[in-house]
Amino acid sequence: KQTILENFRPRKFFDDVTKRDNATTPRTDLYVAGFPCQPFSTAGLMKGFADARGRGEIFWHVRDYIDKRRPRVFVLENVSGLKKISGGQYFRAIHEALLQLGTYNVYTDIVDTKDHGLPHSRRRIYFVGIQSIWDDQTFAFPEPV
């Protein structure tokens, strides 16, 4: 938070996405979000949406923003374990919830930072949604370098 506020000085900053009124939140062309990984990580308890601290539910607040404000493009990120835990049920639920928005083509892939010039390995799953009217079908996840 401090880094963002000191380096970018946003006009609006939301401390808690669960308390944000998405219907009145400013619209944006590109929405980038990560939701807490602990409920979906193989290193955690793998409780998914049933996480006792409510962290698994934050995805639904992120989706609500996309639904209400309709950015042209969104990028969501989480741990790759999301695709594995509980037989992939959370991955499928999230993917389906994004597809149900109805106006987005949604692309998913697992990308490892070590394959893209960073000196460590962090496998992450990405969901990239592009509004169909803006999608020229040329999107592709980057190839390893």
Residues noted as catalytic: 37
Find the length of the chain.
Answer: 145
Please compute Rg for the chain using Cα positions: 16
- The label of the residue with tokens 């460590």 reads 120
Instruction: State how far the Cα of 63 lies from the Cα of 31, in Å rounded to an integer.
Output: 11
DSSP code, position 37: -
List, edge to edge, every strand of the sheet that includes 30-34. Answer: 30-34, 73-79, 123-131, 104-112
Structure tokens at 1: 């938070």
